[in-house]
Structure 1
Amino acid sequence: MMPGGFSDVEPATPEVQAIADQVKPELEEKENTTYEVFEALEYRMQVVAGINYLIKVSISETEDQCVHLMVYVALPPENQEPSLTAYQLDKTKTDPLDPVA
């Protein structure tokens, strides 16, 4: 991974799922909806003054619907919860996981 750049796409880990789960209520509030399915599929990360996670999340068991989340996780000494900084709707499982504008 180049400094400041995003890592290659990796399969989601339990840690990445936990990060997605922490920002799920924020996304649901912004979109005024409830996601029954919220499964992290893959992710990329970028080391900054913390870590930016770009996470592809499946939101349907029966359809190919996903959202892409950009989540900032502060360094441990800052004791902050992960924050949803951007997201993209209407994505599919085959859409590339590119940085959210």
Structure 2
Amino acid sequence: MMAGGLSEARPATEEIQKKVDQVKSQFQKKSNVECTEFKAESYKTQVVAGTIYYVKVHIGNNKYIHMKIVEPLPHTNNPLELLDYQCDKTKDDELVYF
């Protein structure tokens, strides 16, 4: 992967699910979307000053969202942050830069 570019899509891991869980309340507060599920399905990464995760999340009833989560460099001691999200996604929608 080139620095600054997006990685290939990979199946979500337990570590990615934990990151998604950590920003779930930020998503719900910003979007006012009710979720019956909140399961990370796949993800891509972008290495910048920290790591940005683009994650496809199944939120129930065949609905998906794409989340953009930043994990700052460790020395900053800053928490994970939900930078952006996209609603009305499908299982087949590709994760892309946004």
In the alignment, the residues of structure 2 paired with residue 58 and residue 32 of structure 1 have an alpha-carbon distance, to the nearest angstrom, of: 16
Q: Where do 1:1-101 residues align within 5 Å?
A: 1-60=1-60, 63-100=61-98
Deviation at 1:64, TM superposition (A): 2.0
Q: CA deviation at 1:2?
A: 1.1
Letter in 1 for 2:38: F
Please tell me the residue identity of whatever aligns with 1:71: I
TM-score by length of 1: 0.92
Q: TM-score, normalised by structure 2?
A: 0.95
Task: Report the number of matched residues.
Answer: 98
Report runs of 4+ in structure 1 exceeding 2 Å deviation: none
Q: Secondary structure at the match of 2:18?
A: helix
Q: Quote the RMSD (CA, aligned, Å).
A: 0.9
Tell me the distance in 2 between the aligned counterparts of 1:12 and 1:30.
23
Alpha-carbon offset, residue 89 of structure 1: 0.1
1:35-70 alpha-carbon deviations (Å, 9 max, x no partner) = 23000000000100000000000000xx32100000
Identity of aligned residues (%): 42
Unaligned 5+ runs, structure 1:
none
Q: Which amino acid aligns with 1:67?
A: I
